Amino acid sequence: SAVISQKPSRDICQRGTSLTIQCQVDSQVTMMFWYRQQPGQSLTLIATANQGSEATYESGFVIDKFPISRPNLTFSTLTVSNMSPEDSSIYLCSVGGQGSATNEKLFFGSGTQLSVL
């Protein structure tokens, strides 16, 4: 299993500002995933962060709004830019377990609860 440290755990931000969320994994992983969980909702994949290449974004999510960095195999950041109240959500980073199918058996960080005023 992977141990994932995510910070901040929560933040309250003003409209129009940006917040960067950090995710640190205790082992090297090829792919890291960023999810959004709106209040009482399911988990929606924002993007997949690959080391050495640009992140792959899912439909409805764009790089200008959610820029991602992946400087090495154990770390990634997600920035929520130009925030509005609709961005209020829990953001989770995730990695796959070790093995041939690296996206299976997902392990999640503790999440960042973001409130935008």
Partner 1 sequence: GENVEQHPSTLSVQEGDSAVIKCTYSDSASNYFPWYKQELGKRPQLIIDIRSNVGEKKDQRIAVTLNKTAKHFSLHITETQPEDSAVYFCAASKGSGGYQKVTFGTGTKLQVIP
For partner 1, the closer CB: 43 or 73: 43
- Are residues 46 and 59 in contact, defined by beta-carbon separation less than 8 angstroms? no
Contact letters for partner 1, residues 1-40 (x by CB under 8 A):
------------------------------x---------
Burial class (CB in 10 A: 0-12, 13-18, 19+), 12: exposed
Could you give the CA distance from residue 35 to residue 25 in angstroms, rounded to a whole number? 16
For partner 1, the closer CB: 81 or 106: 106
- Are residues 31 and 48 in contact, defined by beta-carbon separation less than 8 angstroms? yes
Tell the smallest beta-carbon distance from residue 56 to partner 1 (Å). 8
* Three-class DSSP category at 70: strand
- Are residues 32 and 70 in contact, defined by beta-carbon separation less than 8 angstroms? yes
For partner 1, the closer CB: 14 or 42: 42
- Does residue 115 belong to the site contacting partner 1 (CB under 8 A)? no
- Does residue 57 belong to the site contacting partner 1 (CB under 8 A)? no
Give, as ranges, the residues between 63 and 102 that touch partner 1 (CB under 8 A): 92, 100-102
Site residues, partner 1 (CB under 8 A): 31, 41-45, 48, 58, 92, 100-111
